[in-house]
Amino acid sequence: MSAEAADPGAPLRRRSRPRIDLRRLGRVALLGPVSRDRLPDAIGHVAEAHRAHHPDADLTILRRAYVLAESSHRGQMRKSGEPYITHPLAVTLILAELGAETTTLTASLLHDTVEDTEVTLDQVREQFGDEVCYLVDGVTKLEKVDYGAAAEPETFRKMLVATGNDVRVMSIKLADRLHNMRTLGVMRPEKQARIAKVTRDVLIPLAERLGVQALKTELEDLVFAILHPEEYEHTRALIAAAAGPDAPLDTIADAVRGTLRDAGISAEVLIRPRHFVSVHRVRRKRGELRGTDFGRLLVLVTEDADCYAVLGELHTCFTPVISEFKDFIAAPKFNLYQSLHTAVVGPGGAVAEVLIRTHRMHKVAEAGVVALGNPYAQDHAAAPQTEPSDERADPTRPGWLSRLLDWQESATDPDTFWTTLRADLAQDREITVFRTDGGTLGLPAGASCVDAAYAQYGDRAHTSIGARVNGRLATLSTVLSDGDTVQLLLAQDTASGPSPDWLDHARTPAARIAISGWLTDHPDEAKPTPSTMTSADPGGPGPAEPAVPERAAQATAPARTRSGPRATGVVVDGRDAPVRLAGCCTPVPPDELTGFVVRGGAVTVHRRECPAVAAMQEIGRAPVGARWADAGGRESDAGCRVTLVAESFGRPRLLADLTEAIATAEAAIVSATVEPPSEQRVRHTYTLQLPDAAGLPALMRAMREVAGVYDVSRAQRPAPAD
């Protein structure tokens, strides 16, 4: 399960036990079952590996499973020439070396019996129980006779659904594919390439997500050798040339051992060679390889606290490369992986990467979910369950698997499922975002608020109108980062649907399938994007006002600007000239005022904070003092006029709801303008006539309470040149 398995001709690295001899086992298997008082010789390697992890395991059921598998497969031969029984034996040995428990090994011995022999699932259930039967059924392929070209994608769908209930199904499949890849050389090149591509696109990402690095790395090397033979051979030559007794990592490893020994820290320091694909990636990243690039130091300790003690000593006694430090203990990866990563400069200036972890972390890093043993056998009634601080709440049902199972139900077409599955698994990193109710959402890196909406609300997310990310308003297209807090905003109108633009921002299959399905089912009812919103708002106009076009058009002709001191309720200092209120800021009592003389001798009055005031003063225009006519700050006759800007997310009935809120406040719309939309945001500008300026705060509150509106403010646009 390491890099040398991908290259039988390469020098063997140090291993705990020799590789299984398939030809010898084939001869042993042909001898048939043995007496009941001992295990068949053919599974001696399996028993030895299993007892290394589970000393008290009862091997009786393994013997029974082997006897059934051997007798069922007797006479069948693999294309490589060995008896077929050697394949389930090899798969079982792979899992045994990873530490799988007895039930998994039993099912792996039987995993091809229902598919390739006369044994039925009922027989497996009768002899070995429901648990083994479920695992065997989960990895049994669907017949091409029944499914045709859809057999492979539907088999994977069936397998993934089974994995959702028991992750051991996928463990067996991964070990099965690893052994098949090891013996793929007997097949035609085109079939080798097809199997290798499926392994690359589906099985390797699944091994990564389940944390089974030992299987993942060897599968990567085997795929690399088949799909990129020239680059593989070049990498193999580089590794062979770098091998030698005076490797730079040996010197640094000795220095690290001495440092930790002097500090009184008990630790095991190993040199961990990189596998072929890892070396290839480093070469592509850095160009010329250094002597220390062919491996990494692995420091194994007993307790979590010792990991940080080792880190402190290394960073104190060696020069650390700070940019290489990562703490996956405090923040584990989504696939159970925990470790401290750092890099230090050793003697002679050589830089070595260092991994620091406990022995338990190392076991989980290599075997992933397989290292959990049987996660379904806990006695919940025996004692209160305490969740370890360094594990996920439910490692048997990780978030990515739950999401996959959710969206696969909507992908009824096998081609859609197969394409979407590959795309989903190509996203190799996961982030966690927090909901305002204290829950969390697991999403792939690059996910947007659209993805978060469908992950949290399902089909209810069709009515999404925006979000708050870390307390700030954001559009649905906003890309989320790990640790963000997100609050999704939904419209009150449950009949509304998604915009086609959302597909541009959706990364998760669940979101894309749901959006596409709604758009397909409602070809004439898709939520219009802001750029296409017109007066044909689905909700119609508000009850007290006529419909207002939303295309930067005037709803009604602007009223004439009122002039003269009595008309405006404004008095200017030292002048008896016509006075008009500036349309750029539409001052109302009790705004502080400033005036400027314009052409014709009239005085235009602005709010003091209006941008036009600063612009006038910059070009040398002298301000004129202005104030409201009466002490109460109220106009003397016909109310006041004000321009308000409403910022909102586009949705159906938005215009009707806004005009209704305005009408309820007894304000008349003088004119209305809607600017071209930007990122699903709509900017409305209303010039309104109010009976009394005192009603302005209530009007603005009423407009803000309209669903989808996130801000209402007084206009601050530049004034036209006078």
Residues recognised as catalytic? 115-116
Is 685 in a helix, a strand, or coil? strand
Picking from 640, 636, 658, the residue whose alpha carbon sits closest to that of residue 649 is 658
Q: Which residues are 432's β-sheet partners? A: 442
CA quadruple 354, 358, 363, 366: dihedral, nearest 10: -20
| Pairing verdict, β 295-301 and 351-358 | parallel
Backbone torsions φ then ψ of 124, nearest 5 degrees: -65, -45
Backbone torsions φ then ψ of 535, nearest 5 degrees: -70, -10
Contacts of 343 (CB under 8 A, 6+ apart): 320, 321, 324, 325, 351, 352, 353, 354
**CA-to-CA distance for 446 and 484, rounded, in angstroms?**
12
Which ranges of 650-695 does DSSP label H, i.e. alpha helix?
A: 654-664
Residues 572, 577, 580: CA angle, nearest 5 degrees? 70
3-state helix, strand, coil in the chain (%, to 5): 45, 15, 40
Contacts of 93 (CB under 8 A, 6+ apart): 20, 45, 46, 49
Q: Which residues are 344's β-sheet partners? A: 320, 352
User: The tokens of 397 are what?
Assistant: 């049902």
**CA-to-CA distance for 101 and 378, rounded, in angstroms?**
14
**CA-to-CA distance for 476 and 465, rounded, in angstroms?**
7
User: The tokens of 704 are what?
Assistant: 């803000």
Is 336 in a helix, a strand, or coil? coil
**CA-to-CA distance for 698 and 402, rounded, in angstroms?**
47
User: The tokens of 45 are what?
Assistant: 């390697």
Which ranges of 414-537 does DSSP label H, i.e. alpha helix?
A: 414-425, 449-457, 509-521
User: The tokens of 147 are what?
Assistant: 């499914």
Q: At what angle do helices 509-521 and 414-425 cross, to 10 degrees?
A: 140
Is 487 in a helix, a strand, or coil? strand
**CA-to-CA distance for 111 and 104, rounded, in angstroms?**
10
- Of the CA atoms within 13 Å of residue 375, those in its CB half-sphere come to 19
Taking a C-beta distance cutoff of 8 angstroms, is the pair 455, 441 a contact? yes
User: The tokens of 530 are what?
Assistant: 């802001």
Is 255 in a helix, a strand, or coil? helix
Q: Which amino acid is at 533?
A: M
| Pairing verdict, β 430-435 and 340-345 | unpaired
Q: Which residues are 689's β-sheet partners? A: 641, 668
- Token look-up 């305005």 returns 662
Q: Residue 466 has what DSSP assignment?
A: E
- State how far the alpha carbon of 540 is from the alpha carbons of 376, 535, 552, in Å: 57, 8, 18
